[in-house]
């Protein structure tokens, strides 16, 4: 039995026991994650989703968080420009081992869903007992905004300023 799953903007054809390198997932090594975006489940009776197969899932165990090979992007402007630039990048990846393919009943497994990009979520800390001055200030409701005066009233309140006179050109002699 095989399945086609979608994660990190890519599609992977997997079987039980396969080792995958996917875009970074928010999970620690040793955790079990579940992919719920299944496009197809193959085997004796293949099922193709429209666009996803309802109730299907792929469960995998996280082996490690790794970095991919270094990709070097080199730009050289030729002839009269005489400039060059080098940029490097190492993609962050998660190494997985597929443990199980579920054709149905994925909702009741209780396994953590695979959430992409980022670090593993830290356990939530207890809320602070005292508020900081900034937090107290931010929590205070703001005063209601004053209604704007109509155009006629504003003109009556403020007189216009007289235009400044420019110095005469004759004074330069």
Q: Quick: pLDDT tens for 83-125.
A: 999 999 999 999 999 999 998 888 888 888 888 776 555 555 5
Identify whether 10 is part of a domain: yes
Of the candidates 67, 60, 120, 62, the residue with the CA atom closest to the CA atom of residue 95: 62
Identify whether 151 is part of a domain: no
What 3-state class would DSSP assign to 100?
strand
Identify whether 60 is part of a domain: yes
Identify whether 26 is part of a domain: yes
Residue 108 pLDDT: 82
Residue 115 pLDDT: 86
**Which range has the worst mean pLDDT, 27-36, 139-148, 157-166?**
139-148
pTM recorded for the entire structure:
0.61
Q: Quick: pLDDT tens for 26-84.
A: 999 999 999 999 999 998 899 998 999 999 999 999 999 999 999 999 999 988 888 99
Identify whether 145 is part of a domain: no
Residue 120 pLDDT: 52
Strand order in the sheet with 47-48: 10-15, 2-7, 38-42, 47-48
Identify whether 46 is part of a domain: yes
What 3-state class would DSSP assign to 171?
helix
Identify whether 160 is part of a domain: no
How many independent structural domains does the chain possess?
Answer: 1
Which range of residues forms the domain containing residue 31? 2-74+83-106
Q: Which pLDDT band holds residue 150 (cuts at 50, 70, 90)?
A: low
Please list the alpha-helical segments (H only) found in 16-142.
133-139
Q: What angle do CA 135, 141, 146 make, to 5 degrees?
A: 140
Strand order in the sheet with 57-77: 19-23, 83-102, 57-77, 32-35, 112-113
Identify whether 34 is part of a domain: yes
């Amino acid at each position: 039995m095989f399945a086609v799953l979608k994660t990190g903007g890519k599609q992977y054809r997997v079987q039980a026991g396969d080792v995958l390198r996917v875009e970074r997932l928010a999970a620690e090594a040793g955790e079990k994650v579940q992919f719920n975006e299944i496009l197809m489940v193959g085997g004796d009776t293949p099922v193709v989703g429209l666009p996803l197969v309802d109730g299907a899932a792929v469960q995998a165990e996280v082996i490690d968080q790794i970095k991919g090979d270094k990709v070097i992007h080199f730009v050289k402007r030729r002839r009269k420009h005489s400039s060059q630039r080098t940029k490097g990048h190492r993609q962050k990846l998660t190494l997985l081992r597929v443990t199980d393919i579920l054709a149905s009943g994925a909702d009741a497994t209780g396994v953590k869903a695979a959430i992409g990009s980022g670090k593993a979520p830290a356990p939530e800390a207890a809320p602070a007992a005292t508020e900081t001055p900034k937090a107290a200030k931010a929590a205070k409701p703001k005063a209601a905004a004053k209604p704007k005066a109509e155009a006629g009233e504003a003109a009556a309140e403020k007189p216009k300023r007289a235009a400044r006179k420019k110095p005469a050109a004759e004074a330069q002699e």
